[in-house]
Amino acid sequence: MGGYLLLSEVSKRFGSYVAVEKFSLRVEQGEVVSLIGHSGCGKSTVLSMVAGLSRPTSGRITLEGRELDGPGPDRGVVFQNYSLLPWLTVYQNVYEAVDSVHRDLTAEDKARVAEKFLRIVRMWEHRYKRPGEVSGGMKQRTALARALAINPKLLLLDEPFGALDALTRTTLQDQLLNIWNAAFEDAFLRALWGEEQKTILLVTHDIDEAIYLSDRIVVMTNGPRATVGEVVEVGLERPRDRKRVLEHRTYVELKEYLLYLLTEKYGRQEVA
């Protein structure tokens, strides 16, 4: 047994449709694990069960040895559709989450935390706008700031960079790695939360992103009855340098292998 996050034979059905079946995965503390698979295979379904938002129909999920019982402040979520509250400003969306989770902080410190993370995702200048007034990428950055600002031990990210341009995407990926590595550049945050390594479960469609960020990549089979297809170890040492990674032989091989898995082995075959 053991393992920090453990999914054992987790299944989820919606009515008569079995979306996920016997999904088993073990994630150690400090790992970054990516889930990739074709659209509709069940990645968000798995993530939302880990978030505690929906219960597995059968099977168990444990976090630090305890069976999950609903959502908790130990898990921060970036939802696939951002799920910002449209009647609150960008700032309020982050602040209300900080305010709810960090009840022991003073109002001043809560405001500072919200500000720090809005600055990290470069949304501070837009803090007075409402979600309806900003672009998809900006919504995504706000949702990321909200999830990071509650300082969760486990980050659950559902395509957190999908709507971003390449440049913003790479900077935010690096910021995420910094935070994962508990290397808050900011003295205030360092003093507040010390150095606790985070664990990340990430859904992505982007093979490059999966390789660059993860320790392991879980390729899911197609639904219905989707499950773990293949788990691919990314043997690249950390810290990773983006340029060097791209030229690395392992990287090229991994990418080819993942492409093969997604297009051939678990390619979208029409079911008769």
Partner 1 sequence: MQRAALFGRSTRKKLKAPRWIWSSLSVVVGFLLFGAVWYLLSHTVAPRVPDPLATLQTFLELIRNPFYDNGPNDKGIAIQLGVSLLRVFAGFLLGVLIALPLGVLVGSSELLRGALNPVIQLLRPVSPLAWFPVGLAAFAASEKAAVFVIAICSLWPTLINTAAGIASVPEDYKNVARVFRFSPWKYLTRVLLPYALVYILTGFRLGLGIAWMVIVAAEMLSGGTGVGFFIWDSYNALDLNRVMAAILLVGLVGWVLDSVLGYALRKVRV
Of positions 52, 131, 160, 223, contacts ligand ATP by CB under 6 A: 223
Is it true that the peptide bond before 239 is cis, omega within 30 degrees of 0?
A: yes
What is the per-residue binding string for partner 1 in 91-130, x denoting contact by CB under 8 A? -----xx-xxx-----------------------------
Q: Which of 59, 38, 32, 36 has its CA nearest to residue 156?
A: 32
User: Is position 140 an interface residue for Mg ion (rule: CB under 5 A)?
Assistant: no
Work out which of 41, 50, 149, 254 binds ligand ATP, going by CB under 6 A: 41
**Contacts of ligand ATP in 70-99 (CB under 6 A):** 80
Q: What are phi and psi of 256, to 5 degrees?
A: -65, -40
Q: Is the peptide bond before 152 cis (omega within 30 degrees of 0)?
A: no
Q: x-or-dash pattern for partner 1, window 35-74, by CB under 8 A? A: -------------x--xxx----------------xxxx-
Is 10 strand, coil or helix?
strand
Type of residue found at 165 = D
Burial 190-203 (b: 16+ CB within 10 A, else e): eebeeeeebbbbbb
250: CB partners within 8 A, 6+ apart: 234, 235, 236
Contacts with partner 1, residue ranges (CB under 8 A): 48, 51-53, 70-73, 75-77, 79, 81, 83-85, 87-88, 96-97, 99-101, 146, 150
Interface residue list for ligand ATP (CB under 6 A): 14, 17, 19, 37, 39-45, 80, 223
Contacting positions for Mg ion (CB under 5 A): 44, 80
